[in-house]
């Protein structure tokens, strides 16, 4: 008796609000951070590095390569232009990342955008400008494009198995992994790529110089590239300030900084400066914004107007000058303060066989030569196989030349079509491929003249095959082919340099002058705790008491102008030099600027004395607790390079007791810790030329005594001042009388 089959029931799906128990819900599982990074982040990082951001040895990122190959497949190398929207749509068969990204890529490769030294897209319409931040390109439906003629060098022999092909993202077609470029495109155009944990920034070199340098390296791997490839060549022109050490570092190591400045001309008739070339790292708007900022801050006062006059003739930034201004001095200051002079930071990070490597120009050209040699080798092998196949067919045709009537008879007498090829094989001793070729010959071609003409190719084919086999056996011949192609590219597509090289660097120090600052009256205040205030007279009249920290007091105050120089002497025996204009106007109701932070002083370093000057006249007088004093000309702190920080501002052999800035000789009162007083005329203290001199003895101290303080004698009211005066130094001074002590306590 058969068992009754049990009816299976499917459990009901949990509904919202049901109490459902989920296994491991709420359980926290610990895992090492390294494991999480490897499983979650590393695949993304590697995808960005290998498949998106870094260029390969053919000079292209995947997005560029997919776009160019699509345009090549659309017949845009020889045909007429088509709408950019058509190109973008077709490219999405290979690049599914969105039409906006594809069009943006095509815009930057266009000739009219002026991003590339060797453009690959022949553009028509508004493609924007690389040197303008605000000049946007038109939509893809309005612009048209095709490939530039030089793109023929990118795709030459691509159908001869020169490079590998892989399926596209959906497997419906194939695309090349690299392009078989006949010149080093990797260095012919600038490339910027930001990956994960690494980046690439490659500058462009002149095409003719680049091809010549590659040829020179193929002849001699140790060739001096500096003589052949002196400096990069940027599409925007400009002037390179040549630095031999930096340039050699770029050529050999792939890293370095290249200073580029704008090119300009002075229009005397209109009293204006016309800037026509700018560095590749900036835009016209960025330059104008910075100049406007300097003018508003009062640091540039020679400019009356500025405007962007860029038109169809190219970039032009015009700066109108006020009457009587020197354009050379103004440009020297603008180079220093604006992006009109900028640095191109080279980082030649390239994918070699899927591995990112930072290589110098020499190594990149050697890697490209090896890649191109493999392309030529594969092309030669492809041609060799084709000629061998052709020769094989013609040899079969030659065998029936001896008896054409026999071949006709075999075909006529064969009952079944399928037996024609086997019978020809047997009748003439040829293989199936040859017999198939013979069987397909048209009836009109079965004459002796046609067959003789075909068989005459055999000799030419045999010679060509021998030549191709010789090429494959001899790397030197492959190198000659590459060098011939490079010479042809340089001759056909080469252009003169756009960027000039300045070997004799301009002496900016000769034309450099201090930034002009607005000059007005100010009151300066400096406190014991190191706070500084600059207050205008108007603000001071409207203010109340000075705000200070608890226990703080003002130790320096002066009426001056905004252009005076400030000197802050610190407890580390250093002096920091700045200007009143470098501090913002303040108010009495705020604490002011903390000088140690504002000037970037060292840890634990604080200012102990402040003075001002406009001409560095007078002396600095330092008193030390060991009884010595150092009198140093203020001129010693003036430097031609306008350094902001000077070491060894005064001696560190003993503790500092007091500091004075003397504009004229005066009398000072020295108080000691054992209640003695000495009145000293500063004229008696000899001048020392060295800033950190230990000084001379001015007061004779008893054991364990020291200088307690020093003040100006004019502030004191002494019953008998002659008691404390001396004519020669050093001197011991005199004990303070009780009446003078009381006076000092009340003071």
Catalytic residues: 142
Q: Which of 168, 194, 139, 195 is nearest to 65 (CA)?
A: 168
Instruction: Compute the distance between CA of residue 145 and CA of residue 462 in angstroms, rounded to an integer.
Output: 44
Question: Is the distance from CB of 494 to CB of 207 less than 8 angstroms?
Answer: yes
Nearby residues of 127 by Cβ (< 8 Å), 6 or more positions away: 107, 110, 112, 113, 137, 138, 143
Kindly give the pairing relationship between strand 628-633 and strand 696-697. antiparallel
Instruction: Compute the distance between CA of residue 497 and CA of residue 233 in angstroms, rounded to an integer.
Output: 6
Angle at the Cα of 578 from the Cα atoms of 573 and 583, rounded to 5 degrees: 125
Read off the tokens for 425: 């094989």
Instruction: Compute the distance between CA of residue 64 and CA of residue 144 in angstroms, rounded to an integer.
Output: 17
Read off the tokens for 285: 């708007």
Q: Which of 501, 220, 509 is nearest to 365 (CA)?
A: 220
3-state secondary structure of 409: helix
Instruction: Compute the distance between CA of residue 554 and CA of residue 530 in angstroms, rounded to an integer.
Output: 9
Question: Is the distance from CB of 83 to CB of 143 less than 8 angstroms?
Answer: yes
For residue 271, count other CB atoms closer than 10 A to its CB: 15
Angle at the Cα of 366 from the Cα atoms of 361 and 372, rounded to 5 degrees: 120
User: CA 419: distance to chain centroid?
Assistant: 73
Angle at the Cα of 197 from the Cα atoms of 194 and 198, rounded to 5 degrees: 50
Tokens 């004698």 belong to which residue? 713
H/E run at residue 477: helix 475-493
For residue 663, count other CB atoms closer than 10 A to its CB: 11
Which ranges of 281-403 would DSSP assign to H, the alpha helix? 284-296, 327-337, 361-399
Strand partners, 554: 527
Residue 730, preceding peptide bond in cis (omega within 30° of 0): yes
The torsion defined by the Cα of 432, 434, 439 and 443, in degrees rounded to 10, comes to 180
3-state secondary structure of 531: strand
The torsion defined by the Cα of 530, 536, 541 and 542, in degrees rounded to 10, comes to -90
3-state secondary structure of 376: helix
Angle at the Cα of 8 from the Cα atoms of 6 and 14, rounded to 5 degrees: 150
Q: Which of 159, 58, 69 is nearest to 383 (CA)?
A: 159
Longest CA–CA span in the chain (Å) reads 154
Read off the tokens for 479: 């190198």
């Amino acid at each position: 008796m058969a068992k009754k089959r049990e009816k299976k029931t499917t459990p009901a799906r949990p509904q919202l609000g049901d109490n459902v128990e989920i296994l491991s819900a709420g359980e926290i599982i610990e895992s090492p951070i390294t494991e999480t990074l490897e499983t979650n982040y590393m695949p993304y990082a590697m995808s960005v590095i290998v498949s998106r951001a870094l260029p390969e040895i053919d000079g292209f990122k995947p997005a560029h390569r997919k776009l160019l190959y699509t345009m090549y497949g659309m017949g845009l190398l020889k045909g007429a232009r088509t709408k950019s929207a058509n190109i973008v749509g077709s490219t999405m068969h290979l690049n599914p990342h969105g039409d906006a990204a594809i069009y943006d890529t095509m815009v930057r490769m266009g000739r009219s955008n002026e991003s590339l030294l060797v453009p690959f897209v022949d553009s028509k319409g508004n493609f924007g400008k690389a040197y303008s931040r605000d000049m946007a390109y038109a939509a893809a439906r309005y612009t048209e494009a095709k490939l530039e003629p030089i793109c023929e060098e990118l795709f030459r022999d691509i159908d001869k198995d020169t490079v590998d092909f892989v399926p596209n993202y959906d497997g419906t077609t194939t695309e090349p992994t690299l392009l078989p470029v006949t010149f080093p495109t990797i260095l012919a155009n600038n490339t910027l790529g930001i990956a994960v944990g690494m980046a690439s920034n490659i500058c462009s070199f002149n095409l003719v110089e680049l091809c010549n340098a590659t040829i020179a390296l193929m002849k001699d791997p140790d060739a001096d590239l500096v003589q052949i490839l002196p400096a990069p060549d940027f599409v925007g022109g400009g002037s390179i300030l040549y630095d031999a050490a930096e340039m050699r570092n770029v050529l050999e190591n792939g890293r370095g900084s290249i200073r580029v400045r704008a090119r300009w001309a002075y229009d005397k008739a209109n009293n204006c400066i016309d800037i026509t070339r700018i560095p590749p790292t900036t835009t016209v708007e960025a330059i104008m914004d910075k100049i406007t900022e300097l003018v508003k801050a009062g640091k540039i006062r020679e400019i009356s107007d500025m405007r962007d006059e860029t038109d169809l003739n190219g970039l032009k930034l015009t700066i109108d000058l006020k009457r009587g201004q020197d354009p050379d001095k103004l440009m020297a200051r603008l180079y220093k303060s604006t992006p009109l002079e900028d640095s191109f930071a080279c980082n030649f990070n390239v994918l070699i066989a899927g591995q990112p490597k930072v290589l110098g120009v020499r190594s990149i050209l050697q890697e490209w030569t090896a890649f191109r040699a493999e392309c030529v080798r594969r092309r030669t092998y492809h041609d060799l196989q084709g000629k061998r196949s052709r020769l094989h067919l013609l040899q079969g045709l030659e065998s029936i030349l001896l008896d054409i009537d026999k071949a006709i008879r075999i075909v006529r007498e064969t009952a079944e079509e399928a037996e024609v090829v086997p019978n020809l094989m047997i009748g003439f001793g040829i293989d199936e491929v040859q017999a198939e070729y013979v069987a397909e010959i048209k009836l009109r071609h079965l004459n002796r003249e046609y067959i003789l003409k075909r068989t005459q190719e055999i000799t030419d084919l045999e010679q060509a095959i021998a030549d191709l086999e010789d090429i494959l056996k001899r790397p030197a011949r492959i190198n000659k082919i590459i060098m011939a192609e490079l010479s042809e590219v340089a001759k056909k597509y080469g252009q003169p340099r756009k960027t000039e090289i300045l070997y004799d660097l301009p002496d900016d120090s000769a034309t450099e002058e201090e930034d002009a600052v607005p000059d007005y009256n100010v009151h300066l205040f400096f406190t014991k705790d190191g706070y500084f205030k600059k207050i205008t007279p108007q603000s001071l009249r409207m203010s109340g008491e000075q705000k200070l920290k608890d226990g703080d007091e003002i130790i320096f105050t002066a009426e001056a102008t905004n252009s005076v120089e400030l000197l802050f002497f610190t407890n580390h025996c250093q002096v920091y030099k700045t200007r009143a204009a470098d501090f913002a106007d303040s108010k009495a109701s705020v604490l002011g600027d903390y000088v140690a932070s504002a000037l970037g002083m060292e840890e634990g370093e604080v200012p102990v004395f402040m003075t001002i000057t406009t001409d560095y006249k007078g002396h600095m007088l330092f008193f030390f607790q060991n009884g010595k004093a150092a009198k140093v000309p203020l001129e010693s702190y003036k430097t031609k390079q306008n350094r902001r920080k000077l070491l060894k501002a005064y001696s560190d052999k003993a503790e500092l007791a007091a500091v004075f800035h003397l504009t004229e000789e005066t009398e000072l009162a020295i108080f000691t810790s054992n209640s003695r007083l000495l009145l000293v005329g500063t004229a008696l203290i000899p001048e020392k030329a060295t800033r950190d001199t230990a000084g001379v003895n001015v007061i004779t101290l008893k054991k364990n005594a020291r200088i307690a303080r020093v003040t100006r004698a004019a502030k004191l009211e002494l019953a008998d001042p002659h008691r404390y005066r001396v004519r020669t130094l050093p001197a011991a001074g005199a004990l303070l009388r009780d009446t003078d002590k009381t006076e000092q306590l009340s003071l």
